[in-house]
A and B are shown apart, each in its own frame.
Chain A
Amino acid sequence: MSKWECVDCGYVYDPAVGDEENGIAPGTAFADLPDDWVCPDCGSPKDSFEEL
């Protein structure tokens, strides 16, 4: 599964790590993140991410 980067702040979403703080389990693909998930660093929406 590929990593995605927030183009607003540079945060990288790594599916292997997930986003535990916001209830995203490790192993969750970027595509499977809920639509209202936002960048945990800056709050930018999902469509601000680019695939690495």
Chain B
Amino acid sequence: MRYVIAGGGVAGVTAAKEIRKQDPEGEVELFSSEPYPYYYRPKLWEFIAGKSAPEETYYRPENWYADQGIQLHLNSTVVGLDVEGKTLSLKDGQEVLFDKLVIASGARSFVPPVEGADMEGVFALRTLDDAKSIAACADTVKSAVLIGGGLLGLETAKALVDRGLKVSVVEFMSRLLPRQLDEAGADVLQAYLEKQGLEIYLDAKTERITAGSDSLTVLLADGRKIEAGMVVFSTGIRSNIEPWKSCGLPVGRGVQVDEYLMTASEGIYAVGDAAEFKGFVYGIIPAATEQGKIAGANMVKPKSKIYKGTVPSTRLKIVGMEFNAYGDATLDGDDVLVRRVVEKEAGRYERLAIQDGCIRGAILLGDPKKAVAIKRLIAVETDVSAHVDQLLEDGFDLKSLASA
């Protein structure tokens, strides 16, 4: 049996590992468009902050793959798929035959069509090579504008602050982390970040970027101008679906899969940022590892494992401040009970959204201790109706409730 993995990110590597575990005999071949073996993306921020070397971002040495009996092919971009002929075509013209295939081609940065976004000194962060370019440029300038006040944008902004730059963050919406935080929570986070030296621009639509003699200027739609040495976009991702669009498989925002993570074609699976499950592309590490494991198992033993979806969870760790959001974090409505703790000075904000007796969403800012228990309560839909008013009290035993 010849298993082929198209993509070397966390979803692809997890699938490869699971295939090997379930089938010690089969051939496992992994094709990655990257020049490096899989690296843990959050480490890129440590590298940009100047706290670690690029090699330290690698999660496993190159020989790990060989030790596992996984053939690793770097610089090998897949450009097409022949479903009937069970063949992948690579950019260099090579053709790769497979018995079973898992599509794990990941995603890339999305940069909106803003005038000037293609200029020198304007970046987006996704890969280790992006991080290297950003770090090299950061050493030649004194300030940066970060466009996009989401999770990854704030992490990047903080990494640049740590590298010694003055950083402004430009957010289109009226608050930071609009998808994970409500107004009150965003307010607490913003106060904290401003204390860290970040300048925050809200309700700010980037109109265009212009170049001066030794700096760039970001022009906002309302007339405000921000001058800086470099600009970094952090405005979302798009799945890498181009190689799969013309092969006959149903493709939406990602390659569509069923509950076995199988595409419309027997023996071809899709996972991670390239996969669309029930209309949704997750774009987060926990979903990528969960899907990688399930698809890997099903490739060896068809229909042995069912994927039920992943509780959305996001986490931000800015020196001294931890942020977790789970489930439908900002859920609200007439049938939703909301419980909050707001301590702006201490940088603490907690919010639970309870519906039909179960926690459906949580925001935890400042104190990570409750995170694991609350995540579990959401995932297993524990009935918490008897404890609604105690859940966020200091000293309440969430752990026992979660493991009951």
A residues in contact (CB < 8 Å) with B: 5, 7-11, 38, 41-45, 50-52
- Interface of chain B: mostly helix, strand, loop or mixed: helix
Q: Are A43 and B290 in contact (CB under 8 A)?
A: no
Q: Are A50 and B371 in contact (CB under 8 A)?
A: yes
Report the bound CA distance from A32 to B252 in whole Å. 46
Q: Are A5 and B372 in contact (CB under 8 A)?
A: yes
Q: Are B40 and A38 in contact (CB under 8 A)?
A: yes
Interface residues on B, range: 20 to 34
Residue B289 contacts which of A7, A41, A50, A51 (CB distance < 8 angstroms)?
A41
Report the bound CA distance from A38 to B313 in whole Å. 20
**Residue B324, interface by CB 8 Å:** yes
**Residue B280, interface by CB 8 Å:** no
Q: Are B289 and A11 in contact (CB under 8 A)?
A: yes
Residues of B within 8 A of A5 (CB): 372
Residues of A within 8 A of B399 (CB): 52
**Residue B10, interface by CB 8 Å:** yes
**Residue B60, interface by CB 8 Å:** yes
**Residue B349, interface by CB 8 Å:** no
A-B contact pairs, 9 of them (CB 8 A): A7-B324, A7-B371, A42-B285, A43-B40, A43-B60, A44-B40, A45-B43, A51-B372, A52-B399
Residues of B within 8 A of A42 (CB): 10, 14, 40, 59, 285, 289
Q: A9-B286, A10-B289 are in contact. Are A43 and B372 (CB under 8 A)?
A: no
Residues of B within 8 A of A8 (CB): 42, 285-286, 315
Question: Which residue of A has the minimal Cβ distance to B293?
Answer: A41
Residues of B within 8 A of A7 (CB): 313, 315, 324, 368, 371-372
Report the bound CA distance from A44 to B286 in whole Å. 11
- Please provide the 4 A-B residue pairs with the shortest distance between their CB atoms, ordered closest to farther: A43-B59, A43-B40, A9-B289, A50-B372
Residues of B within 8 A of A10 (CB): 286, 289-290
Please give 12 more A-B residue pairs, beta carbons under 8 A apart, in addition to A44-B285, A45-B43: A5-B372, A7-B313, A7-B368, A9-B285, A9-B286, A9-B288, A10-B289, A41-B14, A42-B289, A43-B40, A43-B60, A52-B399
User: What's the least CB distance linking A30 to chain B, in Å?
Assistant: 13
Q: Are B39 and A43 in contact (CB under 8 A)?
A: yes
Report the bound CA distance from A52 to B399 in whole Å. 8
Residues of A within 8 A of B42 (CB): 8, 44
Question: Which residue of B has the minimal Cβ distance to A10?
Answer: B286
**Residue B38, interface by CB 8 Å:** yes
